[in-house]
């Protein structure tokens, strides 16, 4: 199974859940890493859970890394499909 499939599944699972992901600190961090938060909500969570600027920076970095892994996975799949098409065309010539 491709990594991007797993990451997309996690993203879909979390964003489609009716659960309030801001009620406890661990859930809020998981949601932030996978989905991100807008600035206003992030500031509210920072106050509620007493997150330091360093923690906020780390969570934002983890979210960016999560997004990059998703993007890299999509590119990998597209590249595989491109190579298959190219190979198929080469065999028909």
Query: Could you read off the pLDDT of 39-89 as tens digits, one per residue?
Result: 999 999 999 999 999 999 999 999 999 888 888 876 776 676 667 776 777
pTM, two decimals, is 0.75
- State the average pLDDT over residues 30-41: 92
Domain assignments of the chain as residue spans, ordered by start: 3-92
What lies within 8 Å, CB to CB, of 74 at 6+ separation is 4
What is residue 81's DSSP assignment? H
Q: How far apart are CA 21 and CA 36, in angstroms?
A: 11
**What is the Cα–Cα distance from 72 to 78, expressed in whole angstroms?**
10
């Amino acid at each position: 199974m491709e990594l991007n499939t797993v990451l997309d599944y996690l993203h879909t699972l979390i964003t489609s859940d009716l659960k309030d992901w801001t009620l406890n600190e661990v859930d809020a961090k998981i949601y932030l890493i996978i989905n991100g938060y807008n600035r206003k909500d992030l500031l509210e969570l920072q106050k509620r859970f007493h997150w330091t600027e360093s923690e906020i920076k780390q969570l934002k970095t983890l979210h960016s890394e999560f997004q990059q892994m998703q993007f890299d996975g999509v590119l990998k799949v597209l590249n595989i499909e491109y190579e298959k098409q190219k190979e198929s065309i080469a065999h028909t010539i």
